[in-house]
Amino acid sequence: MAALGLARLTVRLVAYDPRWPALYLRERARLQQHLGPLPLEHVGSTSVPGLDAKPILDLMAGVESDAARTQMIEPLRRAGYTHGDSDVIAGRLYFRRDDEAGLRTHQLSVCAFGGRFWTEHLAFRDALRADAALAIRYLQLKRELAQRFPSDRIAYSEAKSGFVTAVLRARGLR
């Protein structure tokens, strides 16, 4: 089975793949060839060792301003990313990269370095990495929601938001 790739809008969790960190580092190096030495982070469930995840690498790039965010569209297009239709989160531009078969392999959020989106995503990732019991509770929720919403990625993500908010509140971020 391929390490990455999921059909649009579907939800399917796979067991943690130890190749994911190396795939992130490879993609990070490739992106920095197009974008320069921009801060890039591996976020999402593929960034948490041992956690089941949708087989899509989530990356986050930090820029200094809103103007800098929009300046990323063309370099990212040249790097094989499509500016997505999911720019519904304030302060973030969403990009996706699909493989030759049309399966989503990468998602990239471009946001303000050190801003709310940046800070909260890193805090949530780091909380899961640091607390095995928390990661297990999150995994149980993800499995339940994946069964409930196998063809509705938006509903799946929205249903996780209460858990994420509670974790961030516990860390003083909301």
For 9-20, how does the pLDDT look when each residue is reduced to its tens digit (9 = 90+)? 899 999 999 999
Confidence of residue 2 (pLDDT cuts 50, 70, 90): low
Residue range 20-170, CATH number: 3.30.460.10
Rounded CA-CA distance 45/57 in Å is 8
pLDDT in tens, 44-99: 999 999 999 999 999 999 999 877 888 899 999 999 999 976 667 777 899 999 99
What integer is the mean pLDDT of 152-165? 95
Mean per-residue pLDDT over the chain, rounded: 93
Q: Is the pLDDT of residue 101 over 50?
A: yes
Instruction: Kindly calculate the radius of gyration of the chain based on its CA atoms and give it in whole angstroms.
Output: 15
Task: Tell whether pTM > 0.85.
Answer: yes
Please name every residue paired with 61 in a beta bridge, in sequence order, or none if there are none: 40, 110
State the pLDDT confidence band at 21, using cuts at 50, 70 and 90: very high
The mean per-residue pLDDT over the stretch 120-147 comes to 97
Question: Looking at per-residue confidence, does 60 or 3 come out higher?
Answer: 60
Lookup: tokens for 28: 């990070």
Length of the chain: 174
Can you tell me the distance from the alpha carbon of 130 to that of 99, in angstroms, rounded to the nearest whole number?
A: 32
Query: What pLDDT, on a 0 to 100 scale, did the predictor assign at position 167?
Result: 98
Token pair of 62 as six digits: 């930090």
d(CA 137, CA 171): 17
Q: Which two tokens stand for residue 90?
A: 């304030």
Query: How far, in Å, CA of 174 to CA of 166, rounded?
Result: 8
Cα 59 versus chain centre, distance = 5
If pLDDT is split at 50, 70 and 90, which confidence band does 1 have? very low
Cβ(158)–Cβ(149) under 8 Å? no
Average pLDDT in the 124-131 region? Answer: 98
